[in-house]
Amino acid sequence: MPMAIALKARCVFLGAPGAGKGTQAKKVSETASLAHISTGDMLRQEVASGSALGETARSFMDGGKLVPDDVIIGMVQARIQLPDAKSAWILDGFPRTLMQAEALDRSLGSSALTHVVYFAVPEDVLIGRLAGRRSCSKCGAIWHVEHQPTKSKGICDHCSGKLVQRSDDSPEAVVERLKVYRSQTSPLLAYYRDRKVLRELDANRAPAVVFTELLKLMQ
């Protein structure tokens, strides 16, 4: 177990859906006291609460599409003003397009990004990870039919809730998400490489190994 450390980092975790950046962001934020800002989680909360923003977001997410830039940008800008995000944070799932990246740079001004970490994972591995993923309808725990199975099939080990496949993890939605990712997010790698903040991480390894490497990258 690594010791508690304080990282004064303002970073973006980039990577395809299923690359493991959300899991790692959660671990890093707990270890190094950074705010973990997941736009996917924020949007799912809006959808669950039935807010107007949530209803707009739902129509895009169900089809595996990206929620429009202006909606996401406004949500993130408000989030990084909150007290817990004053000095250090990880953005997970944002930016996804060049326009979002440019809007983020403008809103940060002199508090520019310190790191952009790219989680590299081959596409066939991503498809296997996503299509086998199940989540608990009661407590939200994430399982995997092969890599992290529950003791009894379809039932959550923590709360006995029923496991469901998120609509955006269905095979059709997975293929669409990876296609959207390739066309819209890949140019971000070039953008951040030019700005000399990009760090590449081989994320096709055991989570504990990836975590250790990640902390080294972020020091």
Closest distance between Zn ion and the C-beta of residue 158, in Å?
4
Determine the Cα–Cα distance for residues 49 and 30; give it in Å rounded to an integer: 26
Q: Name the DSSP letter for residue 9.
A: -
Q: Are 116 and 36 in contact (CB under 8 A)?
A: no
Instruction: Look up residue 108 and give its amino acid.
Output: L
For Zn ion, the binding residue among 53, 120, 141, 189 (CB under 5 A) is 141
- Beta carbon of residue 159, minimum distance to Zn ion (angstroms, whole number): 4
Letter for the amino acid at 74? G
Other beta carbons within 10 Å of 106: 10
Asked if 142 touches Zn ion (CB under 5 A), the answer is no
User: Would you say 72 or 136 has its CB closer to Zn ion?
Assistant: 136
Stretch of 64-72, 120-128, 139-147, 170-178 contacting Zn ion, by CB under 5 A: 139-147
Residue 115: DSSP 8-state: E
CB of 147 to Zn ion, least distance (A): 17
163 contributes a contact to Zn ion by CB under 5 A = no
- In angstroms, the CA 167 to CA 142 distance is 14
Write out the catalytic residue numbers: 21, 96, 133, 166, 177
Binding stretches for Zn ion (CB under 5 A):
136, 138-139, 141, 156, 158-159, 161
